[in-house]
Amino acid sequence: MRLSFLQPLLDRPGPWATVYFDPGQPDESGAKRRELSVRQICRTLEQEGADKATAEAVRGHLAGLSPADDPAGRVLFATGGEVVLSHRLSRRPQEELACWAPLPRLAPLLELCGQDPVCLVAYVDRTGADFQLREAGGPQDAGNVEGEQWPVHRAASSDWSERHFQFKVENTWEHNAAEIAEALAAAHEESGADLVVLVGGPRERRAVYEKLPETVRAVAVETEHGGRAAGSGSPALEEAIEKARQDSLYRRVEQALDRFRAGRVGTDRPTDAVEGVPAVADAARQHRIDTLLVRSDGPDLHRELWAGADPDQVAVRRTDAEALGVGEPLSVRADDALLRSAAATSADVLVVPFEGTADDIPAGGLGALLRWTYEPSPA
């Protein structure tokens, strides 16, 4: 899961109002419950110390939300009398949450926005392709490419002129497949998609697949369901895309844990993975986190850290934060501080499963894979 959408929060001082809001049902009784819920949220924020301007900004934004537009709800981050960021959730919160704290409350995002891979779907035929991006906010258009439109259909005759025509058809197919592959590779790089799904006829899919760069081919899969033509979508296609996304996520988590187990050592030797709040905070200060590993039931997620205005100003002790140049260190939750740091450095975030022994998962529920070999700081 990438947290790049949190960028607007990173250069604003707090404290912050954070609200995870479920708009309820789109009926009259749902509207009444929604009104009561908004009142309670704003009352909670004011009781926890939020200024009236920020509470009113939250109230106005929540009042404008519609269950039809946001069926799973939204998360709001507000400070200084302004809603700085409003982001759609992919899963309904089991309980609404409203809090006023030095940092935005980020940990619930891991469950409510999900970590489903960003998927680039290519609907291909002999003349071109349409691209669609699938992510938490729903499908969105990602462009298209049109190749040569003629000739693309074979003739039935075995006459010499017709065989020559068929040769031209084959050339057109190959040319168009190459153009589609080039455009798909560019769309993949631009979108940062974790997965590519090729939809269309078997020959067209295979021709495009074989012309993709190796880096894109490594994350590409094909499905026999659906096509480019209007009306060719089906439940089977949707199931195939969802299965591809879940398989991709499973592989990513397993590969990350394999790398974590291989890179973790119990000595002071340089290592490629760390675990526990002190070591992960140390890596965050040095911008070394490639992937932050979080187990959502980990006991250390709510452990105290000391933080400054910059996302890399995190320390286990207040005096350590002061040594970083933080004038008035803030007492914050470890998960919120480290997720903020991950967002600032474009690190990936993976939720690891509850199952496993102490050798399989990060101690305390927090670990990190590192961008380069890590030499622990002196104790």
Residue 156: its pLDDT value, please? 45
Neighbouring C-alpha atoms within 13 Å toward the C-beta of 25: 6
**Residue 157 predicted with pLDDT over 50:** no
DSSP one-letter string for 159-206: SHHHHHHHHHHHHHHHHHHHHHHHHHHHHHHHHT-SEEEEES-HHHHH
End-to-end Cα spacing for the chain: 32
Report yes or no: 97 and 105 within 8 Å, Cβ to Cβ: yes
The pLDDT-based confidence of 152 (bands split at 50, 70, 90) is: very low
Q: Give the sign of the dihedral formed by CA 214, CA 215, CA 221, CA 227.
A: negative
DSSP letter at 2 equals: B
Alpha-carbon distance of 206 to 194, in angstroms, equals: 20
The pLDDT-based confidence of 38 (bands split at 50, 70, 90) is: very high
Residues 337-360 have a mean pLDDT of 81
Paired tokens of 354: 């509850």
Residues 151-180 have a mean pLDDT of 61
Residue 155: its pLDDT value, please? 44
Q: What percent of the chain has pLDDT over 70?
A: 87
Residues with Cβ within 8 Å of 376's Cβ and at least 6 positions away in sequence, in order, are 268, 271, 274, 279, 282
pLDDT per residue as tens digits for the range 71-98? 889 999 999 999 999 998 888 898 889 9
**Residue 332 predicted with pLDDT over 80:** yes
Alpha-carbon distance of 362 to 51, in angstroms, equals: 39
Q: Give the three-class secondary structure for 343.
A: helix
pLDDT per residue as tens digits for the range 242-293? 899 889 888 888 888 888 888 876 555 557 899 999 999 999 999 999 999 9
Alpha-carbon distance of 44 to 50, in angstroms, equals: 9
The pLDDT-based confidence of 105 (bands split at 50, 70, 90) is: very high
**Residue 136 predicted with pLDDT over 90:** no
Of 118, 115, 154, 155, which Cα lies nearest the Cα of 135?
118
Residue 358: its pLDDT value, please? 52
Report yes or no: 31 and 119 within 8 Å, Cβ to Cβ: no
Report yes or no: 344 and 285 within 8 Å, Cβ to Cβ: no
Report yes or no: 289 and 371 within 8 Å, Cβ to Cβ: yes
pLDDT per residue as tens digits for the range 205-237? 999 999 999 999 999 999 999 888 888 888 999
Please report which helix (H) or strand (E) contains residue 264, including its range. Answer: none
Alpha-carbon distance of 200 to 151, in angstroms, equals: 19
3-state helix, strand, coil in the chain (%, to 5): 40, 25, 40
The one-letter amino acid code at 60 reads G
